[in-house]
Structure 1
Amino acid sequence: MRFDTVIIGGGLAGLLCGIRLSESGQRCAIVSRGQSALSFSSGSLDLLSYLPDGQPVDNLESAIAQLQQQHSEHPYARLGAQRVRQYAQQTQTLLADCGLALQGDVDTPHQRVTPLGTFRQAWLSPQEVPLKTQTRLHTGVVGISGFLDFQPQLAAGALRKRGIDAQAEEIELPLLDRLRDNASEFRAVNIARQLDLPEHFEALYAALRPLSEQYEMLYLPACFGLTDSVVFDRLNQQLACPLRLLPTLPPSVPGMRMQHLLQQRFTRSGGNWMPGDDVLRADTNNARVTQLWTRKHEDIPLRARHVVLASGSFFSNGLIAGRDRVREAVFDLDVLQSAERRDWYRDDVFDTQPWQQFGVRTDEHLHGLRHGEALDNLFVIGSVLGGFDAIAQGCGAGVCAVTALHAAQQILAQGGE
């Protein structure tokens, strides 16, 4: 099978790159093993919250200038502030075009409320997510009876410690009794499949209406809205006070909605979605990838002018840790890593961990390196890249988006090559 571009990995980076290419007329395929890390995310995206030395970021341009001095391997340091800003703004437009109603902007990061009642900086967040600027109101933090993945008492207590007038409440929803009987089934995604049904709206509304008359704001776990915001919008139209949603333990309803809408956009633009498949190996010749072999297609190779590796980090098995080294799973590309295993980690589990920055080495164009040589038609994007700590630096989603659009831009610029 022949394509203009084959993308390995169907998470945020792979989908953004695929949408950009498909909507520009390329015949593009995404090979996706299964659920990506996006389905386990909060639905909020970060761009850059902290520098490697721990300094908070309040200005993107100056932060990237410092990043280039502190850690030149960081993808942002490679691309520069102008490109990072440009691709971040393009991402905002692309996500909005996919039907994702997000609040935030590249120049105005915000503090979102977390399920633990703390604040975390974000670049973009779903409209449902409460922000720190909205916490002056008398707030009811509402749990669902028997639902253990969200603790309203914990969240309300943490908010009160921050001077916010918050109280924990709980609602009964008998329509969920079948799920409640099995703790493993009583999860946000399964609850959402019930509460998203039109016939169950009145029961949910009836449970929340009395509380909406007591408070100025309600927080509820994000247990509806798998594919759209219809239930959220209707509740906000009919309740006596505004309602906001907090993501729960994964899998996350807001993250799954983002995955669904991006995947839908990709296929509607003509992209070929290949789910439940693995790229097992690749053939190369003269520093170019010539064909890919997958588990499902067995003896039918995928051939493309360009290949994009967006396979994810350790979570998605894009990187695999052995006893002596970390390797990239498909091409055995060069990996940025500490030579000695004892230097992979620090004893304090809450400290920043060196292994978080392990990942594929590339040249300045994001071409993957193997034995120091660039593979000319292979681009590496997203969390499989090395040189950044997505958690400590708060830049995981931003790196995925920025590198995805940078790779797509270069592929399109090469035209028919």
Structure 2
Amino acid sequence: MKFDNIIIGGGLSGLTCGIKLAEQGRKCAIVSSGQSAIHFFSGSFDLLGQVNGEEVSHPIEAIKNLADTHPYQRVGIENIGRLAEEAPQLLNRAGLKFCGKADQNHFVLTPMGVMKPSWLTLDDFTCFDQKHSFPWKKVLILNFSGFLDFHTLFVKDGLKKFEVDSQIKNIAMKAFEAIRKNPSEMRSTNIAKVFDKGDVLDEFVKKANLLSEGFEVIILPSVFGLFNKKVVDELKAKVNKPVVLVPAIPPSVPGIRSQMLLSRRFQELGGTFFMGDNVEEGYFENNRLMDIRTNNHGDIKLEADAFILASGSFYSKGIVATHDKLYEPIFGLDIDGDTDRSQWLDEKFFKDQPYMHFGVKADSNFRALMKGQAIENLYVAGSVLGGANALKEGSGAGISLLTSLHVVEQILK
């Protein structure tokens, strides 16, 4: 099978590459081994939250303080500013609407009841301007009886720091009795499926309005709108008080919806999605990747003019570490990381761990290196790149989105 472009990895980075290329008329395929990290999406995409342990208020300005090897620096500050404006537009075309801007972080309420800086926040959730205050002083934290994935006491304890008087209440509804019988079934996605049916929301709203009398705002777990985003909008329109949704323990309802919308956008543009398939090997000739072979396709070769490796980092097994070696498992590409295992970790757990910076080596045009040479048509995007500790910096989604858009520009030149 022949394509213009093949992307290896179906997470945020791979889907961004695929959508952008397909929008430009390219015939594209995505090969994805399975569930992506978008299923754990908290509702917010971070651009840059910290540099050298210091919290960042203005991400674009703060990028200049990052190391030269950081993916943002390699993309270029001017390009980052431009691409950071393009990214939410691409997401919006897929049906995902966000608040936020790249030149100044806003804040979102976390399941721990603290304010976390962020770049883009899905419109299910509430964006706040201040970190050390909460707009309401009398708060109802409302949960579903038997739902254990929303830790209301953490939220309440966190809000105490803002001098907020909060009270926890539970709602019991007949519609949830069946899934309550088995604790493993009382998950956010199963609750959301009940609300998606359309005849339960009004009953819930009546109970919520009754319980919220005397309160200024209601805090709820984000368990609305798995397949139908209108459920979230109807909820906020029908409840008498402002509603603040807070992420629950994954699987994430807005995350799964986001994955479905991005995948649908790619396929509606003509893209081919090979889900549940693994790339086994590639055939190289004259410093070019000519084709790949996958587990499901057997002897059928997948050919393309250009390939993008967006396979993720350690979590997605885009990079693998064993007791004695560190490697990229598909093609054996060069790794930007210390070969001495004793240098992978810092004994102080909360320090900036060296292994978090490891990734596939790439040249200035983000082409993968193998034995020191750039593969002319194999590009690298997203968290499989080295040079950043996305967890410590709060930069993971930004790196995935913006390096992907940048790589697509290199291909389209």
What TM-score, normalized by structure 2, do the two folds share? 0.96
Query: 8 Å contact 2:360–2:386 — kept in the other structure?
Result: yes
Structure 1: runs of 5+ lacking an equivalent: none
Query: 8 Å contact 1:213–1:240 — kept in the other structure?
Result: no
1:58 alignment counterpart? 57
Query: 8 Å contact 1:195–1:204 — kept in the other structure?
Result: no
Task: Give the letter for the 2:59 counterpart.
Answer: L
Matches within 5 A, 1:1-400: 1-51=1-51, 53-67=52-66, 71-133=67-129, 135-137=134-136, 138-400=138-400
Cα distance, 1:167 vs structure 2:
2.4
Cα distance, 1:238 vs structure 2:
1.4
Cα distance, 1:118 vs structure 2:
0.8
Cα distance, 1:61 vs structure 2:
4.0
**Counterparts of 1:232 and 1:106, CA distance in 2:** 26
What TM-score, normalized by structure 1, do the two folds share? 0.95
Query: 8 Å contact 1:368–1:374 — kept in the other structure?
Result: yes
**Counterparts of 1:148 and 1:199, CA distance in 2:** 24
How many residues were matched structurally?
A: 409
1:280-319 per-residue CA deviation (whole Å, 9 max, x = no partner) reads 1111111110000000000001000000001111111111
**Counterparts of 1:131 and 1:167, CA distance in 2:** 22
Cα distance, 1:213 vs structure 2:
3.0
Cα distance, 1:278 vs structure 2:
0.6
Query: 8 Å contact 2:288–2:377 — kept in the other structure?
Result: yes
Partner of 1:392, secondary structure, is: helix
Partner of 2:298, secondary structure, is: coil
State percent identity of aligned pairs.
40
Structure 2: runs of 5+ lacking an equivalent: none
1:233-287 per-residue CA deviation (whole Å, 9 max, x = no partner) reads 1121111111121111111111111111111110011111111111111111111
1:77-121 per-residue CA deviation (whole Å, 9 max, x = no partner) reads 111111111111100111111111211011231011001101111
Query: 8 Å contact 1:46–1:123 — kept in the other structure?
Result: yes
Cα distance, 1:347 vs structure 2:
2.7
Partner of 2:218, secondary structure, is: strand
Query: 8 Å contact 2:140–2:168 — kept in the other structure?
Result: yes
**Counterparts of 2:60 and 2:111, CA distance in 1:** 31
**Counterparts of 1:139 and 1:187, CA distance in 2:** 24
* C-alpha RMSD of matched pairs (Å): 1.4
**Cα gap change, 1:345 to 1:173, in 2 (>3 Å):** farther
**Counterparts of 2:229 and 2:349, CA distance in 1:** 38
Cα distance, 1:390 vs structure 2:
0.9
**Cα gap change, 1:159 to 1:393, in 2 (>3 Å):** same
Cα distance, 1:72 vs structure 2:
1.8
- Higher deviation after alignment, 165-174 or 232-241: 165-174
- Higher deviation after alignment, 15-24 or 58-67: 58-67
